[in-house]
Structure 1
Amino acid sequence: MAADTVTGGESLVRALALHGTDLAFGIPGTHNLEIYRHLAAHGIRHVAPRHEQGAGYAADGYARATGRPGVAITTTGPALLNIAAAVGQAHSDSVPLLVVSPGMPLRHPCLATGALHEMPGQSEAFGHLTAFSHRVTSVEEIDAAVARAFTRFRSRRPRPVHIEVPLDLLTAEAPAGPPRLAPPHLPARPRPESLRAAATALKRARRPALVLGGGAHGAKDEVLELAGRLGAPVATTANGKGSFPESHPLALGVRLHSAAVHKWLAESDAVLAVGTELAESDLWSALPVLTGALIRVDIDPAQMYAGHPADIPLVGDARESLRGLLVELALPDGESGPATEPGGPAPLLGSAAALRSAADATLDPRDTRRLPFLAAMRSVLPPDTVWTSDSAQCCYYGALPHLPVDPPGRYLHPTGFGTLGYALPAAVGVKAGAPERPVVALSGDGGLQFTVQELATAAGLGLPLPVVVFDNGGYGEIRDEMAARGDAPVAVDHPPLDLSALARAYGGHGTRADTPAALADALRTALTVPGPTVITVPEPTGSTAPTELTRRTGPAPVAAPTGGAHP
């Protein structure tokens, strides 16, 4: 190859590096070797999970924790389908995930030929899971496709993107011209008249409410100031957990599913929702009928009329929107009554405390049992810990509402799409991208086994990684739903599994914690030894049908957070 030419594979890797990619996750295969050939030369480190689904979750966790797009490399056909569940989760949770793969050659026949990994309509299939799937048609187009992906990540609601490079273009050569780069990010700001209308509504409100989603993570300081100025209780969605200090007197945490919080939303005279879909997966039911104005802040214009239409739409970057709103709130406004007093009104601390108590008063006894274990974990781990979570009872009934997280900590949970097996590979991705931060994966025994092979990946990193597994002997959520229906349990009970031995077989460590004190001790040790440590917390496995039936038929919004579809 001449010095002034590049292959398609090198053009792809060069473009990724120029856009700041320094770490990729993936598995080499026959068709993508030309991509792997150039990674090291362009300064891109690589982590090889044991399954492409794990690679997708790892890249997702990396993106959420670092704020930079996650990159995953697959080969054609089955490998790309393997990562599809992770791509769906990234789409649901608005995560900037870039999947790059080879494709069949440019002039591959439309009729099947039996070629290795041949998959009809590969790019078209992924177009339905992503913001876009770009199949390039020349080597010169490759860096433009990468620039297009990063432009999307920087300027619009983050969604996964797929870039497909035909096999023959990976090894084809073309002149190494100047690279095409995504433009710098210019945060969008709402229209001034919309900011004034929102400020007027909030000034007039006597019972304001704040709801924060994943889009609020970039505006932590502004959210804190706004909540104090309004004196408003603050609820977060699962994705919004950690965007507001849960130790704050105004914090409700992740309790949008409770009857008390639903009533609060319905009676609030202004609801400010920042970066959230107000989705069923967060509320565990439909949004209650609101009597006050709904003010929505979102980078995605479609959110202003999708699902729950905004009475006052603020289309723009969350930080810029809230900064503009704070300026408007500080200005006198003759039409909206007296201007906000310096420092804002007296905070509704009693209201927030009462709401927290009312929400927790209906806790199921089984869920109450987990609280001392969660408190033990919180007492041991530093404030900047990153928690990765699974679609497991210990997470959505336990840690989401009852394990407090303050910035700079993060809590990463697979909402909406609700995949299983997210926690462990996502933790691997976080640890690979931020090795200095403490990371803990929290899962159930059913969900862990979807991606348990990533213990080997974690062992290969050689970095401390506690994996706490609440073991209820199978798919506890579905077992409870069957019992609540009066059905005999089918395919939900697993034979006993020695997870500690399995962890050791993969090159890690394993132990059992029957008490909160034992869990705290195990975590202290796990934070000091290289590799993963699986800590098994045994839970009762008998039916809890009476309390589950009460949970689902009582006055509270009671459906499981993902429609009851997960263990």
Structure 2
Amino acid sequence: MSTAQAVVAGLLANGIETIYALPGVQNDPFFDALYHAQNRLRVIHTRHEQGAAYMALGAALATGRPQAMAVVPGPGLLNASAALATAYSTDARVLAISGQIPLGAIGRMTGQLHEIRDQTGLLRSMTKWNAMVTGPADAPAAVEEAFRQLLSGRPRPVALEVPMDVWPRTGLMPALRTAEPLPAPPVDEEVVEQAARLLGAAERPMLVVGGGAHAAREEVRRIAEALAAPVLSVRMGRGVLDGRHPLAVTVPAAHRLWAEADAVLVVGSRASGALGGWGTEGLKLVRVEIDAEEMHRFGAPTIGLQGDAAAILPALAERIAVHRRARPGRMEHIAGVKAEVMGRVAERLAPQQAFLRAMREVLPEDGILVDELTQVGYAGRALWPVHGSRTYLSSGYQGTLGWGLAAALGAKAARPEAPVLSISGDGGFMFNVQELATAVQHGIAVVAVVFTDNAYGNVRGFQKQHYGGRVIATELRNPDFVRLAESFGALGLRAEGPAALGEALRRGFANADGPTLIEVPVGEFPSPWEFLMLPKVRPAG
């Protein structure tokens, strides 16, 4: 078996059904092996390496399962690097397979095609684990370990490099095995009991949940209801608790409630905005975190429970039920804060809210929204109701402009039964506009909404606000987006206002054969940042 055949066999053994890729000479033997596995492993090829990597990222975020991508070395990997950095920031299970120059030439800087200095070091900076396959006998163990790393501990991307002269080498292979995750730390029942007593005795407890809590949705709900505690789902954790639940809060209301909280349970979240920005003095903090390094990021918690939330939270919920106390009037107080604060947000951001409501009314219950760095998207962080787990995809703290369309294509490819809606501004959309061709070629029926204000609107707004109105490098000359979509073979629509957008979305979701692009001309929106970049409300501890 060749190295290339062994890697493909390892992907199949570990449940990979689709690989997002762009071919090139350094990976030709690998793609030949993929050719012979076409009946078992789908290859979606893109028009740019960043498109392939973002598609793998979107698929990983939408499913929670490992996804794979493949690119050539050097410029190919560099083109994909923004997506890999985003996968790292969003704790996504992405396997990046990168070609390499010939094995004997690595590090010699002899001017090989696509040679860059220390590609391995570059990958190390964007992954939790990486390895180079140096011979055919290495391949099965390397692939197995890659998937073990993807499935163990904190989920983050991993990478394999294969030099171009190693791909075709053949040899006898060890038996291929499906990777088994490393065991999680055991649940410490004594510490669980301490945490339950602390939270149960609190008068005004609160929860903060992130992406690490998706596998413990029911337990989060049970704990919140037992404690009458509001639940802030930060971006990667949106949908852990249904946004329609009385205890679900977004950042503006959570900020108000944080000021009065006496105990906080943080589950699977770095919670940097709250712990690092809102202040912690006088606050008892319980953290459930699989990453020991993250546990102490903002100082030592009062009680730390290291391990998988899916294993710890059932035990914690059981013990909290024993130690719960009555909190008369707490639910009514939370409802009042939500009504007051969110009413003010909705009024101030009424133009964005109108578009968000129009989209939420049309997007089905199981539909996925892929967020972008656009004014409607920013407002959606506070105002978009997220109904279910993994139905709100965000680029996290990396804030990667232009990721949205390609990530949405990956989400739809991985979950074809779910309607997928991408929202972008005209600036970000053009980063990956070429992937409309990929969507048409592969029949990926994403609906993409582009809010066009002919500017990098957020940057322009900051320039006007903070630099005396001196505007530079933010005005944009756009194509006719409807005609552009049609030139790719996609359905192109234009919607003037929220009501028209709703009708266009209905047409778009009915178009099951391929992508739909909806252009929505807009003017300047009111700034959402007063509700998202919030000040300290209690002194730092």
Q: What are the superposed Cα offsets for residues 514-542 of structure 1, whole Å, 9 maximum, x if unpaired?
A: 1222111111110111211111222214x
Q: What are the superposed Cα offsets for residues 282-336 of structure 1, whole Å, 9 maximum, x if unpaired?
A: x5971323422111111111111113432110111111111010122234xxxxx
* One-letter amino acid matched to 1:462: G
Q: Structure 1 residues 374 and 12, CA, compared in 2 at 3 Å: closer, same or farther? A: same
2:217 matched to 1:235? Answer: no
* One-letter amino acid matched to 1:29: G
1:429-508 → structure 2 map (5 Å cutoff): 429-485=410-466, 486-508=468-490
1:125-274 → structure 2 map (5 Å cutoff): 125-184=122-181, 186-252=183-249, 254-255=250-251, 258=252, 260-274=253-267
Q: What are the superposed Cα offsets for residues 124-146 of structure 1, whole Å, 9 maximum, x if unpaired?
A: 22111111221122211112111
* One-letter amino acid matched to 2:391: R
2:86 matched to 1:104? Answer: no
Q: Partner residue of 2:270?
A: 277
Q: Structure 1 residues 284 and 458, CA, compared in 2 at 3 Å: closer, same or farther? A: farther
- Between the aligned partners of 2:482 and 2:299, the Cα distance in structure 1 is 46
Q: What are the superposed Cα offsets for residues 434-473 of structure 1, whole Å, 9 maximum, x if unpaired?
A: 1111111111111111111111111122243211112222
Is residue 211–residue 269 contact of structure 2 (8 Å, CA) maintained in 1?
yes
Q: What are the superposed Cα offsets for residues 318-357 of structure 1, whole Å, 9 maximum, x if unpaired?
A: 11111010122234xxxxxxx437xx75683323222323
Q: Structure 1 residues 250 and 346, CA, compared in 2 at 3 Å: closer, same or farther? A: farther
Please point out which of 9, 14, 20 is paired with 2:15: 20
Q: Structure 1 residues 495 and 526, CA, compared in 2 at 3 Å: closer, same or farther? A: same
Shift of 1:408: 5.2
- Between the aligned partners of 2:329 and 2:171, the Cα distance in structure 1 is 64
* One-letter amino acid matched to 2:59: Y
Q: Partner residue of 1:562?
A: none
Q: What are the superposed Cα offsets for residues 136-169 of structure 1, whole Å, 9 maximum, x if unpaired?
A: 2221111211111111121110111110011211
Q: Partner residue of 2:312?
A: 321
Q: Structure 1 residues 321 and 241, CA, compared in 2 at 3 Å: closer, same or farther? A: same
- Between the aligned partners of 2:534 and 2:275, the Cα distance in structure 1 is 6
2:340 matched to 1:384? Answer: no
- Between the aligned partners of 1:535 and 1:523, the Cα distance in structure 2 is 8
Q: Partner residue of 1:563?
A: none
Shift of 1:365: 6.5
1:321-340 → structure 2 map (5 Å cutoff): 321-331=312-322, 339-340=323-324
Is residue 387–residue 439 contact of structure 1 (8 Å, CA) maintained in 2?
yes
Is residue 384–residue 408 contact of structure 1 (8 Å, CA) maintained in 2?
no
Q: Structure 1 residues 189 and 448, CA, compared in 2 at 3 Å: closer, same or farther? A: farther
1:392-411 → structure 2 map (5 Å cutoff): 392-397=374-379, 399-407=380-388, 410-411=391-392
Q: Structure 1 residues 360 and 556, CA, compared in 2 at 3 Å: closer, same or farther? A: farther
* One-letter amino acid matched to 1:309: A
- Between the aligned partners of 2:256 and 2:522, the Cα distance in structure 1 is 33
Q: Structure 1 residues 109 and 473, CA, compared in 2 at 3 Å: closer, same or farther? A: closer
Q: What are the superposed Cα offsets for residues 46-68 of structure 1, whole Å, 9 maximum, x if unpaired?
A: 11121111111110110111221
Is residue 207–residue 265 contact of structure 2 (8 Å, CA) maintained in 1?
yes
* One-letter amino acid matched to 1:326: A
What TM-score do the two structures reach when normalised by structure 2?
0.93
For residue 165 of structure 2, give the secondary structure of its aligned residue in structure 1: helix
Q: Partner residue of 1:515?
A: 497
Q: Partner residue of 1:565?
A: none
* One-letter amino acid matched to 2:302: D
* One-letter amino acid matched to 1:324: A
- Between the aligned partners of 2:363 and 2:329, the Cα distance in structure 1 is 30
* One-letter amino acid matched to 2:473: A
- Between the aligned partners of 1:229 and 1:161, the Cα distance in structure 2 is 39
Is residue 66–residue 95 contact of structure 2 (8 Å, CA) maintained in 1?
yes
2:534 matched to 1:534? Answer: no
- Between the aligned partners of 1:443 and 1:234, the Cα distance in structure 2 is 28
- Between the aligned partners of 2:258 and 2:106, the Cα distance in structure 1 is 57
Q: Structure 1 residues 417 and 121, CA, compared in 2 at 3 Å: closer, same or farther? A: same
For residue 235 of structure 1, give the secondary structure of its aligned residue in structure 2: strand
2:2 matched to 1:7? Answer: yes
Is residue 420–residue 447 contact of structure 2 (8 Å, CA) maintained in 1?
yes
- Cα RMSD between the aligned structures? 2.3
Is residue 64–residue 92 contact of structure 2 (8 Å, CA) maintained in 1?
no
Is residue 61–residue 390 contact of structure 2 (8 Å, CA) maintained in 1?
no
1:83-102 → structure 2 map (5 Å cutoff): 83-102=80-99
Is residue 463–residue 471 contact of structure 2 (8 Å, CA) maintained in 1?
yes
- Between the aligned partners of 2:389 and 2:152, the Cα distance in structure 1 is 24
- Between the aligned partners of 1:210 and 1:470, the Cα distance in structure 2 is 34
- Between the aligned partners of 1:461 and 1:275, the Cα distance in structure 2 is 35
Shift of 1:362: 4.6
Q: What are the superposed Cα offsets for residues 266-296 of structure 1, whole Å, 9 maximum, x if unpaired?
A: 321110111110124xx59713234221111
Q: Partner residue of 1:288?
A: 279
Deviates more, 1:497-506 or 1:356-365: 356-365
* One-letter amino acid matched to 1:504: E
Deviates more, 1:61-70 or 1:454-463: 454-463
- Between the aligned partners of 2:356 and 2:213, the Cα distance in structure 1 is 25
* One-letter amino acid matched to 2:312: S
Could you tell me which runs of 5 or more consecutive residues in structure 1 were left unpaired when the two chains were aligned. Answer: 1-5, 332-338, 560-567
Q: Structure 1 residues 523 and 368, CA, compared in 2 at 3 Å: closer, same or farther? A: same
Shift of 1:475: 0.8
Is residue 364–residue 551 contact of structure 1 (8 Å, CA) maintained in 2?
no
Is residue 346–residue 353 contact of structure 2 (8 Å, CA) maintained in 1?
no
Is residue 262–residue 288 contact of structure 1 (8 Å, CA) maintained in 2?
no
Is residue 133–residue 163 contact of structure 2 (8 Å, CA) maintained in 1?
yes
Deviates more, 1:269-278 or 1:506-515: 506-515
1:60-99 → structure 2 map (5 Å cutoff): 60-99=57-96
Q: Structure 1 residues 347 and 187, CA, compared in 2 at 3 Å: closer, same or farther? A: farther
For residue 318 of structure 2, give the secondary structure of its aligned residue in structure 1: helix
* One-letter amino acid matched to 1:17: L
Is residue 432–residue 461 contact of structure 1 (8 Å, CA) maintained in 2?
no
